[in-house]
Chain A
Amino acid sequence: MFHTTFYLRRLHSLCGLLILGFFILEHIGTNSMALAGPVFFNGVMGMVEEIPKPIFYSIEIGMYAIPFLFHGLYGIYIALQANNNPLRFGYLRNWNFTLQRWTAWFLVVFLIWHVGYLRIYLKGVLGNPISFELLQNMFSNPIVAILYVLGMWAAIFHFCNGITTFCMTWGITKGPRSQNVISLISMGLCAALCLATVAFMSSYYIY
């Protein structure tokens, strides 16, 4: 009667594209500052630290933690309803559908590690500010660096393919031609953001 499923699904879609989509772009933007070297990067990190704590924490919890938890937990419920069959039906969109779910599973594990270690343990519990040197030290282990690049790629693909499916779910793109155009644009964005990730990650090996 109240269509709970409908509103939860639409909220999941909105939350993923607008809030988490904004977050991933902001995250790539901030991390790209590493390209300009340790001094500039640490300067940007210092500016973030100057945001008054009550405002900073409200943004972190209200804008990030809650939407992430909702999108992640409800997403697990959605992913469990799929019986992925790309080997039987190997069409491009079906592969994207499957990758959307595989990247999601990888991201659940990756984000628990990433947020748990960097934000909660290093910054929260030990009180270490995030700096270029700290990340450089962390990425000196090539396995960690590779897992971080894969984590970023997974998140970027999930976001970009999400743009395409968002347009279908909201009835914005109806016909196959408009759906293909959006799909091409979002996969172009995906490739660009993946390359940007490789670029800013390599700066930890250059400086």
Chain B
Amino acid sequence: MPDKVRFIIERQDGPNEKPYNQEFDVDYRPGLNVVAALMEIQKNPVTVDGKRVPPVTWECNCLEKVCGACMMVINGRARQACCALVDEIKKPIHLQPARTFPVIRDLLIDRSVMFESLKKIQGWVELDGSWDVKDAPIQNPYTAQTAYEISHCMTCGCCLEACPNVGPQSDFIGPAPTVQAYLFNLHPLGKFDAPKRLNALMEKGGITSCGNSQNCVEVCPKSIKLTTYLAQLNRDVNKQALKNMFNF
């Protein structure tokens, strides 16, 4: 293993500025990951040409693949920087912002569009009070495992970055917010609003914009079976459409 690791970082000074590349060398140490390397660059932001530059901006928080904040494009693939181990990826390491989202600066992106989408599909449960533990409605034990799996979604945006149908050319809300509708439809109280969520998914930019490229399930860092739940939701919206037609 060489004692230096080369990083080629696609930088951008502001939302409407032109992107450019800069190269940095970081001292190798066992177990080094991309976030730790970015921290080293932040401490001493000197390029390989010896030029001192403004430190690279990025976002991170939990450092254990739970919060989703450090999602970026590493060697062409959307993934979490905190669990991208330098030992396991091809060098030199290319870092780019996930351009499906608006870039604020360098590797920092604005992912608020996903939260707007969660509002559209009603990604919450309406409460009408509270219970003592023994009286509360219970989770269906047969679907609890599925609900637990989908609840791992950390809105990191890997699936949106990989999806060919998400981007400025399309209004698709993307796999993550779509599949959250299924999570809340499984909830013992949330299920009362299932028709609302399914009707929201039938709107423009909803589930019908899915083109079945299935990139989402390949890149999901939490291994959520997104395509399975998208197919389930397709089934559910078709049933909802029939209900709408014949209840009209």
Bound pair (A, B): yes
- Cα(A87)–Cα(B225), bound, Å: 23
Asked if B152 is at the interface (CB within 8 A of a chain A CB), the reply is no
- Chain B residues closer than 8 Å to A173, beta-carbon distance: 231
Query: B164 and A170: CB pair below 8 A?
Result: no
How many Å lie between the Cα of A102 and that of B156 in the bound state?
Answer: 30
CA distance A98 to B165 in the complex (A): 11
Which residues 156-198 of B sit at the A interface, judged by CB distance below 8 A?
162, 164-165, 167, 169-170, 172
Asked if A5 is an interface residue, CB under 8 A from chain B, the answer is yes
Q: Is the CB of B77 within 8 A of A93?
A: no
Bound: A5/B206 CA distance, A: 9
A168 an interface residue at 8 Å Cβ cutoff? yes
Give the distance in Å from the alpha carbon of A80 to the alpha carbon of B164 in the complex.
11
Known: A171-B231, A171-B235, A175-B228. A83 touches B167 (CB 8 A): yes
Q: Pick from A4, A89, A97: contact of B219, CB below 8 A.
A: A89
**Choice from B77, B209, B227 contacting A88 with Cβ under 8 Å:** B77
Q: In the complex, what's the smallest C-beta–C-beta distance from A133 to chain B, in angstroms?
A: 43
List of A residues within 8 angstroms of B211 by Cβ: 78, 82, 97, 100, 165
Give how many A-B residue pairs fall within 8 Å (CB-CB): 108
Shortest C-beta distance, A165 to chain B (Å), equals 4
Is A140 engaged at the interface, CB distance under 8 Å to the other chain? no
Residue numbers in A under 8 Å from B225 (CB-CB): 176
Closest residue on chain A to residue B229 by CB atoms? A174
Report chain B residues within 8 Å CB of A84: 164
Asked if residues B228 and A3 are in contact (CB atoms below 8 Å), the reply is no
Task: Give A7 to B203 CA distance when docked, in angstroms.
Answer: 10
- Map CB proximity to B onto A168-185 as digits: 1 under 8 Å, 0 otherwise: 111101111001000000
- Verify if B241 is at the interface (C-beta below 8 Å from A): yes
Which of B169, B227, B241 meets A81, CB within 8 Å? B169
In the assembly, what is the distance between CA of A82 and CA of B165, in Å? 5
Q: Is A119 an interface residue (CB 8 A)?
A: no
Contact (A174, B235) CB under 8 Å given A10-B208, A83-B164, A93-B214: yes
Closest residue of A by beta carbon distance from B167: A83
Q: Does B218 contact A (CB under 8 A)?
A: yes
Additional A-B contacts beyond A3-B241, A80-B169, A94-B213 (16; CB < 8 A): A4-B204, A5-B205, A6-B241, A10-B238, A81-B165, A81-B172, A82-B169, A89-B162, A96-B213, A168-B230, A170-B235, A171-B234, A173-B231, A174-B235, A176-B217, A176-B227
Could you list which residues of chain A lie within 8 angstroms of chain B, going by C-beta atoms?
A: 3-7, 9-10, 78, 80-85, 88-89, 91, 93-94, 96-98, 100, 164-165, 168-171, 173-176, 179
User: Can you list 27 A-B pairs with a CB-CB distance of less than 8 A?
Assistant: A5-B208, A6-B202, A6-B203, A6-B237, A10-B238, A10-B241, A82-B211, A83-B165, A83-B169, A85-B215, A88-B77, A88-B162, A89-B77, A89-B215, A89-B218, A97-B212, A98-B164, A168-B212, A169-B234, A170-B234, A170-B238, A171-B236, A171-B238, A174-B231, A175-B231, A176-B228, A179-B231
